[in-house]
């Protein structure tokens, strides 16, 4: 089959990890007789430098008409000026919104061989296999009003946490659907004891729960959830939560896996065009050195094959190659080794 993929390598280590993921995709293409056509665009800080905009209309339009988008990372100290008109992160938010990808899937699995890299005791990590479903196009990141002004002689800043019922329902329904293919358990995370938006969230979670009686539903307040992620992560399976809670909890959860460099993500909406990116950032401190861990991005391509292209066997082949590579002892610097980005990808490709 034929697929069009937009590559947005972005900033920092983004181009290094995307290049290796593309090599993996090319092996899959030749082995399983598919054609992947790539088109590359600047996005983030590099796009501000060249075009004065973190996401140009042309780039967004190309992404919208592609079959899938693979993103590296955006941002860096160069574009961190708080008074700047545009920021790399704005481009990422505009891309998510423009693609309508309202659900961000962030699976967190702990490979037994990497347990020593997690600050948690190995017995806590046994059996950890969590799928966080983060709402991605609503909440505080997008609510209106938003901005700065001067009121009563005081400088003021405002962000708005806003959710419509349909925004909660669609991400909740997806979480239940995904739970059905797993342990049939959904943990909905909110702050319903304080926030009105969370009370709507919980009300809809209960409704969707009643419509899906075969899936167990529980509610956890976000502060408790952050604690339980550390004290008893193996007890969680599918976790569904609003945008900012999900942002925070997934960074916390990534620590379980030993390194952020290991973790992929998929952002999905109503259409099949998905956005795939590792959960790590642009890591300016190691950019250009060729030592970043490419696994998060390579596993993101596996999610692309599964969710956007419906190529389950191909996706599983990548995941199993990564698994064997880690079992075989291959390690980049973040997990205590000396392999370069390219060498790690070579190890994975060998096992494909």
Question: Which active-site residues does the annotation give?
Answer: 141, 191, 223, 247, 251
- Neighbour-count burial of 116, counting CB atoms closer than 10 A to its CB (0-12 exposed, 13-18 middle, 19+ buried): exposed
Residues 220, 191: contact at Cβ < 8 Å? no
Which residue's CB comes closest to ligand IPM?
Answer: 89
Q: From Mg ion, ligand IPM, none, which one binds at residue 62 (CB under 5 to 8 Å depending on kind)? A: none
Beta carbon nearer to Mg ion, 167 or 247: 247
Q: Does 277 bind Mg ion (CB under 5 A)?
A: no
CB of 84 to Mg ion, least distance (A): 20
**Toward ligand IPM, which CB reaches closer, 132 or 321?**
132
- Quickly tell me which residue has 């939560």 as its tokens: 241
Partner interacting with residue 209 (select from Mg ion, ligand IPM, none; CB below 5-8 Å by kind): none
Q: How far is the CB of 187 from ligand IPM (least distance, A)?
A: 19
What is the Cα–Cα distance from 140 to 158, expressed in whole angstroms?
10
Stretch that binds Mg ion, among 69-77, 107-115, 243-251, 302-310 (CB under 5 A): 243-251
Using the Cα atoms of residue 282, residue 283, residue 289 and residue 295 in order, give the sign of their dihedral.
negative
Binding site for ligand IPM (CB under 6 A): 75, 89, 92, 247
- Element containing residue 132 per DSSP (H, E): strand 129-135
Q: How far is the CB of 175 from ligand IPM (least distance, A)?
A: 18
- Could you tell me the smallest distance in angstroms from the CB atom of residue 352 to ligand IPM? 28
Contact region for Mg ion (CB under 5 A) — 61-69, 117-125, 224-232, 247-255? 247-255
132: Cα within 13 Å, side-chain hemisphere: 31
Six token digits for residue 61: 């339009």
Complex with ligand IPM: residue 89 or 173, whichever CB lies closer: 89
How many residues lie near Mg ion (CB under 5 A)?
Answer: 1
**What single string gives the DSSP state of each residue in 161-230?**
----HHHHHHHHHHHHHHHHTTTSEEEEEE-TTT-HHHHHHHHHHHHHHHH-TTSEEEEEEHHHHHHHHH
Structure tokens at 349: 């490709």
Closer residue to ligand IPM, CB minimum distance, 23 or 97: 97
d(CA 61, CA 84): 25
Minimum distance from residue 42 beta carbon to ligand IPM (Å): 16
Q: Three-class SS of residue 242?
A: coil
Return the HEC string of 3-37.
EEEEEEEECCCHHHHHHHHHHHHHHHHHHHCCEEE
Residue 246 CB-half CA count within 13 A: 31
Closest CB to ligand IPM among 92 and 205?
92
Q: How far apart are CA 319 and CA 298, in angstroms?
A: 9
In the bound complex, what is the minimum distance in angstroms from residue 268's beta carbon to Mg ion?
17
Least separation in angstroms between CB 247 and ligand IPM: 4
92 binds, among Mg ion, ligand IPM, none (CB under 5 to 8 A by kind): ligand IPM
Residue number, 230 or 234, with CB nearest to Mg ion: 230
* Residue of 11, 16, 242, 247 that binds Mg ion (CB under 5 A): 247
Number of H-type helices and E-type strands within the chain? 12, 12
Which lies closer to Mg ion via its Cβ, residue 247 or residue 347? Answer: 247
Of 50, 52, 66, which Cα lies nearest the Cα of 98?
A: 66
Query: Which spans of this chain sit near Mg ion (rule: CB under 5 A)?
Result: 247
């Amino acid at each position: 089959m034929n697929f069009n993929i937009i590559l947005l390598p972005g900033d920092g280590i983004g181009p290094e990890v995307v290049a290796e993921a593309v090599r993996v995709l090319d092996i899959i293409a030749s082995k399983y007789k598919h054609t992947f056509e790539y088109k590359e665009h600047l996005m983030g800080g590099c796009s501000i430098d060249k075009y004065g905009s973190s996401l140009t209309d042309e780039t967004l339009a190309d992404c919208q008409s592609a079959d899938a988008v693979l993103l590296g990372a955006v941002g860096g100290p160069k574009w961190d000026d708080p008074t700047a008109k545009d920021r790399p992160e704005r481009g990422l938010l505009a891309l998510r919104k423009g693609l309508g990808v309202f659900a961000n899937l962030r699976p967190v699995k702990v490979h037994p061989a990497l347990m020593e890299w997690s600050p948690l005791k190995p017995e806590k990590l046994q059996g950890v296999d969590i799928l966080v479903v983060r709402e991605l196009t609503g909440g505080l990141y997008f609510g209106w009003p938003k901005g700065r002004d001067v009121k009563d002689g005081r400088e003021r800043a405002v962000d708005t946490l806003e959710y419509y019922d349909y925004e909660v329902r669609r991400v909740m329904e997806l979480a239940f659907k995904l739970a059905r293919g797993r342990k049939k358990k959904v943990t909905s995370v909110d702050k319903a004891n304080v926030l009105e938006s969370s009370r709507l969230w919980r009300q809809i979670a209960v409704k969707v729960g009643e419509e899906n009686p075969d899936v167990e539903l529980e509610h956890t307040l976000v502060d408790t959830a952050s604690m339980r992620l550390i004290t008893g992560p193996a007890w969680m399976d599918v976790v569904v939560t609003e945008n900012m809670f999900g942002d925070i909890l997934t960074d916390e959860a990534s620590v379980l896996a030993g390194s952020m460099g290991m973790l992929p993500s998929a952002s999905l909406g109503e259409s099949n065009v998905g956005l795939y990116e590792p959960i790590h950032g642009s890591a300016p401190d190691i950019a250009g050195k060729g030592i970043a861990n490419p696994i998060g991005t390579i596993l993101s391509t596996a999610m692309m094959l599964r969710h956007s292209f419906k190529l389950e066997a191909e996706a599983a082949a990548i995941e199993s190659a990564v698994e064997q590579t880690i079992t075989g002892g291959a390690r980049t610097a973040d997990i205590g080794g000396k392999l370069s980005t390219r060498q790690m990808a070579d190890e994975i490709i060998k096992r494909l």
